[in-house]
Amino acid sequence: MFPPAAASLPLAGKCPAAPGDPIGSAKNRGEEGSGVVSVVKTDAYSKTARLYDPLIGPLIMPVRREICRLALGRNLHSILDICCGTGRQSMMLQNLGFRVTGLDLSPAMLRVAQRKAGKSIPFVRGDAARLPFADDSFDAAVISFALHEKEVSLCNGILREAKRVVRQPVRLIVADFLVPLGLTARAVGRWVRLVERGAGKEHYASFLAFMKRGGLTAVLLQQDLRVLREERLFFDNVAVVLAGH
């Protein structure tokens, strides 16, 4: 899936959940009752944002295409791309006719995204666990490879916030890792672990906790989200899930 040379880079689309530049009021950010407090002192992507699409983009293109496919034909118009990274997924969705807003905490990532998309997509710097949007602002939200690197409370906070800003019936399209089962899946899974270990101690600890919880589908169920549709990729190590109430 991901080349060893990219092992030290957190996977594209990652958005460290932290205050950063507060956008909007505390009410709009969902701070009330979120229970999530975190701090980021530096931009982890300041030196690597430009490398994401050349190194990671081709490898995760099947995931991005599946996200687009799951979004089609569901009467969705506005989509929030949470932890949008370089904005490639946002642009793919926009090209299909969706009104897309991208959110990320990294100024470097957002500069790349805005340069590529121009003014056609609004990109917002904000905290994924305290979204700067009012309740029921979007028809759906996308979260791609942004949960497994978060410690448990932040992971849960991001999902709660995503549910808050999406209109009923809630529709989330989420891509992330599964617990591998079977010989081939486990063999690929061992390589995934090596890549995740190379991303740093805290990242790897969060990845292990995510997998211990049961991987993506289990984490969604723990947040009262039903799996409405699931597509598996990379020998059942990755799932792209349409989840909702």
Parallel, antiparallel, or unpaired: how do β-strands 238-244 and 99-104 relate? unpaired
Predicted pLDDT of residue 233? 98
Domain boundaries, the chain: 4-244
Q: Annotate 58-112 with DSSP letters as a single string.
A: HHHHHHHHHHHHHHTTS---EEEEET-TTSHHHHHHHHTT-EEEEEES-HHHHHH
pLDDT of 203 reads 93
Strands 123-125 and 99-104: parallel
**Superfamily per CATH, domain 4-244:** Vaccinia Virus protein VP39 (3.40.50.150)
Q: For residue 6, what pLDDT is reported?
A: 38
Please state, in angstroms and rounded to a whole number, the distance separating the CA atoms of residues 112 and 107.
Answer: 9
Structural contact between residues 105 and 42, judged by C-beta atoms closer than 8 angstroms: no
Q: Residue 48 corresponds to which tokens in the numbers above?
A: 């690597």
pTM of the model: 0.84
Q: What is the pLDDT along the chain (245 residues), one digit of tens a residue?
A: 443 333 333 443 455 444 334 323 334 444 444 444 344 457 877 777 787 777 778 889 999 999 999 999 999 999 999 999 999 999 999 999 999 999 999 999 999 999 999 999 999 999 999 999 999 999 999 999 999 999 999 999 999 999 999 999 999 999 999 999 999 999 999 999 999 999 899 999 999 999 999 999 999 999 999 999 999 999 999 999 999 98
Return phi, psi of residue 180, to 5°.
Answer: -75, 140
Given this model, what pLDDT does residue 42 score? 75
pLDDT at 15: 59
State residue 23's pLDDT score: 28
If you ran DSSP here, which 8-state letter would residue 130 be given? B
Predicted pLDDT at 232: 98
